Amino acid sequence: MKYALITGLLMSFLSSHALSSSILNKTDLRENGNSYVLEQNRRFIESLESCTPREDGSYRVIVQGFSLFSKLKMNISGAVVDTLAGLPLEERSLISPKHNGTRVTQKTIEIAGKKIELCLVVSEVLWDLAAANLIAIANEFKPDFILLSGKGSTRAVIETGGRNKSGSGSGYLGNGTNAGPLNRPRSRRIDPRYKSSKVIKSSWHYEKILKASRPFIEALDHKVELGDEGRAENNYICNNIHYALLQSATEGNIELAGGLLRPSMMQEEIPAIGFFHYPSNTLNSDPGTELSSWSLVIKEIIKAQLNL
């Protein structure tokens, strides 16, 4: 089944690669950037680095975060994912080139007496590639819930929607190096077929999750709020992956990398999808203890979404 899925995806990518030069000249990341995303995604799929369902009847949840960007020594979103995975503190939120943009760990835990199969994903902070690789993982794992996360501003934010809008900032490679023009949007739209004003509502129980997570977040001396649906200021790679997954799941596919990639989320039942922004002032004096506390927040979010 896995090899059939991979073959089908690769055939789709190859046919997309045969676009005319007139279309290639209208790319989102310019020709070199789009080709880089296409090649990295191809290598990721061929590597078979994914999660697979292990037990019938278990809940399946993807928890995703990001690797380094800007001058960060540790990205809290990827570090919490790696805390759940049990990685040593010094390895959390790091990713090497051998992972082709996405590192995956699978683990089974219990929440409220129920088995939860976790697919723990750390993505490079790269336009379109983070989304394309995660859609491939979802097609293999078939999750009930996809919890995306990233580092935000002063407050924790539970996002309520994604917007088809791209900012102009470059992405970052796994070691925190700015990718420059190799991964910088040319278009202000994620999917050029639709207007940048298009918004897709998040499919998770965000009001219930706000209520369940607030006591735990406030215990960490942070505030949490619901973000306005598709808020305009949320236009970096966090929104890119959120919007791409929402559109792929609800509307059939998403056009990425200038049309070279058109991944579809091929599931009979559409998973709940949501995005959580951690506050920026984190990981200060005792990062190990703080990460353990934030991992409890993530478990409460999962518990609330799955009605456990």
Within a domain: residue 235?
A: no
CA distance 25 to 20: 9
Q: Which residues, 6+ apart, have CB-to-CB distance to 112 below 8 Å?
A: 303, 308
Total domains in the fold of the chain? 1
Whether the Cβ atoms of residue 49 and residue 102 lie closer than 8 Å to each other: yes
> Per-residue pLDDT averaged across 262-288, rounded?
92
Within a domain: residue 267?
A: yes
Q: So what's the pLDDT on residue 57? A: 82
Within a domain: residue 206?
A: yes
Within a domain: residue 233?
A: no
Q: Which residues, 6+ apart, have CB-to-CB distance to 22 below 8 Å?
A: none
Q: So what's the pLDDT on residue 26? A: 40
Q: Tokens standing for 179?
A: 């990718």
Within a domain: residue 223?
A: yes
Q: Residue 130 sits in a domain of what CATH number?
A: 3.40.630.20
Query: Domain residues for 164?
Result: 2-228+241-305
Helices (H), the chain: 2-17, 21-24, 30-46, 76-85, 129-141, 206-218, 237-251, 287-305
Query: pLDDT for 125-148, tens place per residue?
Result: 999 999 999 999 999 999 999 999
Q: Model-level pTM greater than 0.95? A: no
pLDDT score of 177 more than 90? yes
Question: What torsion do the CA atoms of 81, 83, 86, 92 make, to the nearest 10 degrees?
Answer: 80
pLDDT score of 173 more than 90? yes
Query: What percentage of the chain carries pLDDT values higher than 70?
Result: 91
Query: pLDDT for 4-41, tens place per residue?
Result: 444 344 444 444 443 333 343 344 898 999 999 999 99
Start-to-end CA distance of the chain, whole Å, equals 31
